[in-house]
Chain A
Amino acid sequence: MTPPHRTGDPGPGRPTDRQSPWQGRGLGRRHFALALPSALLVSGCAAPYRGSGRPGDPIVLTLLSHYASGELKQALQGPVDEWNATHDRVKVRTKAVEFTDLLTTFMVRQAAGQGADIIHPYCLWNGQLVRAGVLRPAPSGHAVEIGRGYGRAAVDAASVGGRVYGYPTEVQTYALYYNKRLLRAAGLGSPPRTWRELEEAAYRTARRDRYGNTLVQGFGLSTYDDSTTVGQTLALLGAAGGSFVSADGRSTAIDSPAGRAVFELEHRLVVRGASTPGINVYKAFQSGQAAMVISAGWWTASLRAEMGRDYREVGVAPVPVPRAGDRPGTLSTGFMLGVNTASEHPREAWEFLRWLNAEKVGVRTARQGAVATRMSSLQVSVGSLTGRADDMGTLLGAGGDPNLRPFREALAYAVPEPNVPGAQQAKSLLRQNIEALWTGQRSVDEALRAVRRQVDQEVSRSW
């Protein structure tokens, strides 16, 4: 039998030659019947799996963080696996991107309607995320628990406009790293405690060759990135009792005696040759080409891993203060875990966060009966800190790296990085002006004026 299409009979449902391809009723229906499930299938594949939604079926929460590789990824996966093994109803699935892509990923996924249930933002972005309606305020029970369990700086960093939006995770405080060998060689037996001592140590340790190439930076100021440049300056500003943004977050407060003193100190260090901002300070310190650097606590783990035996020559001291007897001060930065407003299961997400961040469990490496939260154990295992002073005391109390102690002590007095809407841009503007000061483009007065004008314009915008 000849197939129908060979004889000119198109067969049931197929269009004849005279019919337009669009005219065949059967074809249209069939296309529609094929297209609909295909579209559903494609959209289903594109959307994250959040569970079937049937009563009794597991709920799948997604957690998006920057713990994308190495020990950080493993450290987070440990407790998540434990949760999944012990909870039948709510499962957690982690997704991770590099830190540099984190904010962009939040944006893109949120705009596409695929925001993760739990997000792990840098606290600097909190104002921006709250303004965009991405972060859900912590329910009152959780907010009380957060306020009670963490230090002031950590709670402030996780809050916007006085409302708490998440559980603080790692908290980074800033302190002075110094190379004991270089200080000894310059005849200095102990790290500087005041700015005068800091300058003296910087000038005595700095060395250059006859062509002007830096052999040793006395005090490492660095244009490496926003966080490095601004972190160093804001840590010194904190030590001088100043702040970057006013209490109401609507203007900058850096154009103050404290701000001026910091800018003048940095300017002197650069002009007199003790600092060379263009050099990558992280590499320079590791290789003994920088005597002192202000940086955050996370660096200790990197230095220990990279420097090997030379790490014993590394010491850490509180950020020097302007005058002997001044109260200590520094900067703290951090991350937090919050719940997305777009999450369909906020109650379960908050419950998971409480389990991870607030529930105390036994610590194997500490003394008998010692307890800490899973997050605190996780952070300490990767050489970082949380804002829970009691956990840090337990986990770092006996043994451990003595260089972490100044960072832990700084939790009590550190000032958090501002997180008002526009904080990221304010930070970039501050960096540009600090660099302009360091490179002689602007004087101290001009730099302070420019920061005030530009940052005020940004943070006072009505969004």
Chain B
Amino acid sequence: MVNVLTPERAERAHGPRPARPVVAARDRTRRRQTVVAYLFLAPTLLFFAVFLVLPLGFALLLSLSHWSGFALGDIRPVGLDNFTGLFADGSTFLAPVLTNTLLFALGTVALALAGSLTVATCIDNLRFQGLWRTLYFLPIVTTVVAVGNVWKYMYEPGGLVNGALNALGLDSVAFLQDPDTALPSVVVVQAWASVGTAILVLTAGLKSIPESYYEAAALDGAGPVTVFRRITLPLLRPSLLLVCVTQIVTGLQSFALIVVMTRGGPGDATDVAALEMYRQAFSYGDWGTASAAAFVLFAVVLAVTLLQLWIFRRGGEDA
């Protein structure tokens, strides 16, 4: 049997060696590097702490308290009262506020997705694709206030849309004044305003589909509908998922367009969660209810997003 000295034993056999100071120096260097790394990270961490963690913690505290918004010393814990109040009998939060919010978001996604998919497919087969994409992207660079006001005038009884209806011999429609048409009318505007981004994403997705699939389909004699259903749609799924998730999150948080066009009216026909939160906090001085509503909306956004991911993953696409 041959005795072999392990490195550790060998070290011990050879007496004291400068290994420990080297390790210590290495540790010091590592510590110093860590400190420097944290120093570099500090501004970002501070930013997140001040603008994300702190407000989130404060909102959580407020959701479990009553606060009128004036003096920090007046925050009074009330447990889960704000949450139970939102769903209590007679509360308007569940219906119509949350219902309107979901209808608004789903309607926007459905319209924007259908519209953008159609337009993106058309653009993909046209010349001057950059020009078309730019044209459809223009609403994105226009402020919501301008978009809302222009559409509001178009919907007016003497406006462009009713003018067109009258020219066709049809009676005017009180688009924003009738509770039955107010929400769909605003959904159309939100979809129109967000279709540009969706077109950009989808045209990029269309470009990434290899041409060889289409050539193979053509050789097999597949028609355009079959090609679209069997090749384009399945391979576009990641882009569609992105569009769906971003559009629905935007729709669930929508505020500015509703304020400009209807202020939640007529009655409460277009009242949505973000508007209700704003009113509870800044108009009624009930920051507890507003914060609780914000967390409920967060839970809804999370649930809807997870549901979308699950549906798309079930279809075979690992998003």
Interchain CA distance A110-B285 in the complex, whole Å:
13
Residue from the list A107, A134, A453 in contact with B90, Cβ < 8 A: A453
Contact count A vs B, C-beta below 8 Å: 107
Inter-chain contacts of A95 with B (CB < 8 A): none
Residue from the list A103, A111, A211, A279 in contact with B72, Cβ < 8 A: A111
Inter-chain contacts of A134 with B (CB < 8 A): 70
B68 touches A132 (CB 8 A): yes
CB of A227 closer than 8 Å to a CB of B: no
Shortest Cβ distance from A429 into chain B, in angstroms?
Answer: 9
Contacts A20-B32, A432-B265 given; indicate if A212 touches B171 (C-beta within 8 A). yes
Residue from the list B166, B279, B282, B285 in contact with A132, Cβ < 8 A: B285
B178 touches A439 (CB 8 A): yes
Write the A433-459 contact mask toward B (1 if CB under 8 angstroms, else 0): 101101111100000000001100100
Shortest Cβ distance from A239 into chain B, in angstroms?
Answer: 24
CB of B237 closer than 8 Å to a CB of A: no
A111 touches B266 (CB 8 A): no
A110 touches B70 (CB 8 A): yes
Interchain CA distance A438-B267 in the complex, whole Å:
9
Write the B169-187 contact mask toward A (1 if CB under 8 angstroms, else 0): 0111010111100000000
Write the B54-82 contact mask toward A (1 if CB under 8 angstroms, else 0): 00000000000010111110100000000
A132 touches B74 (CB 8 A): yes
Inter-chain contacts of B271 with A (CB < 8 A): 432
B174 touches A132 (CB 8 A): no
A104 touches B265 (CB 8 A): no
CB of A137 closer than 8 Å to a CB of B: no
A435 touches B266 (CB 8 A): yes
Shortest Cβ distance from A208 into chain B, in angstroms?
Answer: 9
Interchain CA distance A463-B279 in the complex, whole Å:
18
Interchain CA distance A107-B72 in the complex, whole Å:
11
CB of B124 closer than 8 Å to a CB of A: no
A432 touches B157 (CB 8 A): no
Shortest Cβ distance from A15 into chain B, in angstroms?
Answer: 12
Interchain CA distance A424-B284 in the complex, whole Å:
6
Inter-chain contacts of A213 with B (CB < 8 A): 157-158, 162, 166, 172
A211 touches B172 (CB 8 A): yes
CB of B133 closer than 8 Å to a CB of A: no
Inter-chain contacts of B165 with A (CB < 8 A): 211
Partner-A contacts on B (CB < 8 A):
32, 35, 39, 66, 68-72, 74, 90, 92, 157-158, 162, 165-166, 170-172, 174, 176-179, 263-269, 271, 279, 282-286
